[in-house]
């Protein structure tokens, strides 16, 4: 927004349009001979305007990055006897000391005078860079460089740079402590990161663009200063020109307009140039002796414009955004001082008092706003001090386990995040607070690193233990004694899990060696097992076919011949080998088929039972697995115990029938039952005998 865009008249028309009316149009009225009264009044107002240039601005320091511009000629006001006009100035308009709030505005305007784009820096959003992460700071820097003028972002860039370097410095210290704790030499330490390289690249681009800007600015400032000095010389020259007064006045107004649009000049030359300009403007008005009508016309125009400025200032005094109001107020003061001339004497005090009161209101609201900001910063300081105290408390608590330290590390990370999100603190306390925070974190990190350094000894012991396991694994990885080596390999794998941490630099390397040796061995086991599985699947297919044949088998009816046939089929079945574990149901089907064939034989029941048992033992006998025989052993022992128990019970019951004749049906039944149990017991005992022969 330009200086004049803020002002509109009652009809909504821009003041800029009214100011576009040329000075020539204002002086097309008949110009009468000058009179002393108007001359004195005009000179008085010019002197008052000139006095508004704040001498304090001359003490502004030149920005280090801004090139110096040589020379300005300051034509002093004569120190000779007072003229009538000078006497009138001292009598009617004594120079008053400016109020502090006015001086503050004029100082800011003087700073902006060197570069009119500096106004844009006042409109930058105030952000809490302290709470941003390093990546967010880099993104914000890149956005400012891309979207804002390079000369307007110096302040936020310096704040971003400070915050980024502080955070990176903290990380750098931690990395260095870790490096040293692992036995590294300090002289060999180096750490960088892609984010740091990115930030440095953005900053280099910023410096390059800023240097290019100042190089261009230096040329423009010199050119503008030369232009303004030439305008002053042209105004001085009007006193010696012999031409119509109207023409001379028009030339004077053209030079004034050219002065207003001449552009920025070096900051340290600003006050000197303006004072020199106003001095020669006074001399020209003294020379011109404007008539009363033209004077009144100029006074009225200036009064109308200044009243509009006052109206706008009073509107701004009601604005709750004190910073925005103050920035626009600076523009209004600049217009009052630089763009407008004097008003009639009777209005001067009143309009200045209105403008000054509105200025004071805006200034006081702004001061109140900053007082509230200071209070918020004080509250943030208390928060951060409390967080630092918590970090110090956590650092005091001694723990002796890895898990406990990991928990403490998480707590510290949470407190660090709280610290960065707590907001800004008073500037005077910022450095001390940051130093205390870093000291607390550094104390914690030193204790943490001391603990983990003490663990290094245990880690080297663990390393040797794992190297011993690696040797066992590598020595046995090609061993074909799977029955012996497989349990061993499983055991050392389990031992590896319980040994504990080893130095970080060795961890991956030794794990890869151990894993490779174990994988090599178990790959061989799996290959062997897959081959065995294939044989068992082939056996299952063959037994399925044999089982189908057995269903269709017809016996001859000759017991001895049929018994031989059944034995051959049984031997053939056993010769086919084992089937997979999940296919062993086929053994039960075969036994049922054989039992059905035996039932058709005309043989003694006990003999048949033993033949069937012998066939069963053939199927239960596995070269590498005795579990089936063990189960059968337990089963037969249990049956023998059961039959013996039942037999004893029957014999005890028989004693109750001592006086009863054996021909009694009940007694006969008991005796027969006892005989059957004895025969059954004899068969189970024979089976047990056969089973023991296999062990």
pLDDT per position as a tens digit, 377-415: 999 999 999 999 999 999 888 888 888 888 999 999 899
Q: Residue 604 pLDDT more than 70?
A: no
pLDDT of residue 112: 63
Residue ending a domain, choose from 496, 520, 544: 520
Q: Which two tokens stand for residue 106?
A: 């004029």
pLDDT, mean over the chain: 76
In this structure, the answer to whether residues 433 and 490 fall within a common structural domain is no
Q: Which two tokens stand for residue 514?
A: 């151990």
512 occurs within a structural domain: yes
pLDDT of residue 693: 77
Segment 665-682, tens digit of pLDDT: 777 787 888 888 888 888
Longest dimension (CA), the chain: 178
Q: Comparing 366 with 26, which gets the higher pLDDT? A: 366
Which distant-in-sequence residues (6+ apart) come within 8 Å of 53 by Cβ?
106, 271, 274, 275, 278, 337
pLDDT band at 330 (very low <50, low <70, confident <90, very high): confident
Q: Comparing 555 with 546, which gets the higher pLDDT? A: 546
Q: Residue 63 pLDDT more than 70?
A: no
pLDDT of residue 533: 72
In this structure, the answer to whether residues 434 and 490 fall within a common structural domain is no
Q: Residue 29 pLDDT more than 50?
A: no
330 occurs within a structural domain: no
Tokens 């002093």 correspond to 76
112 occurs within a structural domain: no
Residue ending a domain, choose from 446, 472, 503: 446
What is the percentage of the chain residues whose pLDDT exceeds 70? 77
Contact 67, 217 (CB under 8 A): yes
Segment 191-209, tens digit of pLDDT: 888 999 999 999 999 999 9
Q: Residue 6 pLDDT more than 70?
A: no
Contact 320, 274 (CB under 8 A): no
390 occurs within a structural domain: yes
Task: Tell me the average pLDDT across 297-309.
Answer: 88
Closest alpha carbon to 295 in 84, 45, 15, 22 = 45
Query: Which residues make beta-bridge pairs with 622?
Result: 625
Buried b (16+ CB within 10 A) or exposed e, 513-544: bbeebbeebbebeeeeeeeeeeebeebbebbe
How many independent structural domains does the chain possess? 3
565 occurs within a structural domain: no
In this structure, the answer to whether residues 428 and 486 fall within a common structural domain is no
Task: Tell me the average pLDDT across 324-352.
Answer: 85
Sign (positive or negative) of CA dihedral 556, 557, 561, 567:
positive
pLDDT band at 231 (very low <50, low <70, confident <90, very high): very high
In this structure, the answer to whether residues 471 and 507 fall within a common structural domain is yes
Q: Residue 258 pLDDT more than 60?
A: yes
Task: Tell me the average pLDDT across 59-85.
Answer: 32
Lowest mean pLDDT among 86-100, 223-237, 555-569: 86-100
Which distant-in-sequence residues (6+ apart) come within 8 Å of 584 by Cβ?
none
Residue ending a domain, choose from 394, 423, 446: 446
Domain hosting 442: range is 375-446
pLDDT band at 290 (very low <50, low <70, confident <90, very high): low
130 occurs within a structural domain: no
Tokens 């009052």 correspond to 336
In this structure, the answer to whether residues 477 and 420 fall within a common structural domain is no
Q: Residue 453 pLDDT more than 50?
A: yes
| CA angle, 262 then 268 then 273, to 5° | 45
What is the percentage of the chain residues whose pLDDT exceeds 90? 20
**Pairwise CA distance, residues 427 & 45, whole Å:** 43
452 occurs within a structural domain: no
77 occurs within a structural domain: no
Q: Residue 243 pLDDT more than 90?
A: no
Task: Tell me the average pLDDT across 525-544.
Answer: 79
Query: Which residues make beta-bridge pairs with 14?
Result: 8
Sign (positive or negative) of CA dihedral 49, 55, 57, 58:
positive
Which distant-in-sequence residues (6+ apart) come within 8 Å of 11 by Cβ?
none
Whole-number CA gyration radius for the chain = 55
């Amino acid at each position: 927004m330009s200086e004049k865009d803020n002002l509109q008249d009652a009809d909504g028309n821009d003041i800029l349009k009214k100011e576009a009316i040329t000075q020539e149009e204002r002086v097309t009225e008949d110009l009468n001979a000058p009179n002393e009264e108007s001359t004195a009044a005009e000179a008085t107002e010019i002197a008052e305007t000139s006095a508004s240039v704040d001498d304090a601005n001359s003490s502004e320091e030149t920005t280090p990055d801004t090139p110096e511009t040589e020379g300005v000629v300051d034509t002093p006001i004569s120190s000779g006897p007072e003229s009538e006009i000078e006497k009138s100035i001292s009598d009617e308009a004594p120079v008053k000391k400016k109020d502090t709030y006015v001086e503050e505005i004029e100082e800011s305007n003087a700073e902006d005078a060197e570069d009119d784009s500096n106004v844009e820096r006042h409109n930058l959003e105030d952000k809490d860079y302290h709470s941003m992460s390093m990546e967010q700071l880099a993104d914000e820097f890149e956005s400012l460089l891309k979207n804002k003028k390079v000369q307007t972002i110096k302040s936020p860039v310096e704040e971003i740079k400070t915050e980024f370097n502080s955070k990176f410095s903290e990380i750098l210290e931690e990395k260095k402590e870790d490096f040293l704790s692992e036995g590294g030499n300090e002289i060999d330490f180096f750490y960088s990161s892609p984010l740091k390289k990115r930030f440095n690249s953005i900053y280099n681009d910023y410096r390059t663009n800023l240097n290019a800007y100042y190089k261009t600015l230096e040329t423009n400032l010199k050119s503008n200063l030369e232009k303004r000095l030439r305008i002053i010389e042209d105004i001085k020259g009007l006193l010696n020109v012999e031409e119509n007064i109207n023409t001379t006045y028009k030339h004077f107004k053209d030079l004034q307009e050219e002065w207003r649009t001449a552009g920025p000049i070096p900051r340290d030359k600003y006050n000197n140039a303006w004072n020199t300009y106003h001095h020669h403007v006074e001399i020209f008005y003294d020379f011109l002796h404007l008539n009363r009508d033209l004077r009144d016309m100029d006074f009225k125009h200036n009064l109308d414009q200044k009243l509009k400025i006052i109206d706008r200032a009073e509107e701004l005094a009601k604005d709750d955004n004190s910073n925005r109001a103050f920035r626009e107020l600076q523009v209004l003061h600049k217009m009052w001082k630089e763009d407008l001339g004097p008003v009639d004497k009777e209005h001067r005090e009143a309009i200045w008092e209105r403008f000054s009161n509105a200025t004071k209101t805006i200034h006081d609201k702004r001061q109140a706003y900053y007082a509230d900001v200071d209070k918020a910063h004080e509250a943030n300081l208390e928060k951060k001090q409390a967080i630092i105290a918590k970090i110090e408390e956590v650092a005091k608590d001694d723990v002796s386990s890895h898990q406990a330290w990991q928990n403490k590390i998480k707590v510290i990370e949470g407190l660090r995040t709280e610290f960065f999100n707590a907001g800004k603190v008073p500037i005077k306390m910022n450095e001390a607070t940051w130093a205390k925070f870093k000291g607390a974190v550094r104390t914690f990190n030193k204790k943490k690193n001391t603990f983990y350094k003490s663990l290094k000894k245990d880690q080297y012991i663990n390393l040797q233990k794992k190297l011993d396991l690696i040797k066992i694994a590598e020595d046995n990885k090609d061993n074909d004694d799977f029955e012996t080596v497989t349990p061993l390999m499983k055991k050392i794998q389990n031992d590896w899990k319980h040994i504990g941490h080893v130095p970080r630099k060795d961890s991956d390397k030794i794990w890869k060696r151990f894993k490779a040796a174990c994988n090599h061995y178990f790959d061989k086991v799996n290959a062997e097992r897959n081959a065995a599985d294939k044989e068992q699947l082939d056996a299952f297919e063959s037994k399925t076919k044999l089982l189908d044949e057995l269903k269709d088998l017809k016996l001859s009816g000759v017991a001895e011949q049929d018994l031989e046939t059944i034995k051959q089929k049984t031997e053939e079945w056993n010769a086919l080998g084992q089937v997979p574990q999940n296919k062993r149901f086929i053994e039960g089907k075969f036994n049922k088929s054989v039992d059905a064939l035996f039932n058709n034989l005309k043989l003694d029941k006990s003999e048949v039972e033993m033949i069937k048992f012998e066939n069963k033992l053939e199927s239960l006998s596995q070269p590498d697995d005795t579990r089936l025989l063990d189960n059968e052993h337990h089963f037969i022992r249990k049956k023998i115990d059961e039959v013996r128990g039942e037999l004893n019970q029957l014999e005890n019951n028989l004693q109750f029938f001592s006086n009863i004749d054996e021909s009694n049906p009940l007694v006969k039944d008991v005796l027969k039952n006892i005989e059957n149990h004895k025969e059954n017991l004899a068969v189970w005992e024979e089976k047990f005998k056969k089973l023991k022969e296999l062990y």
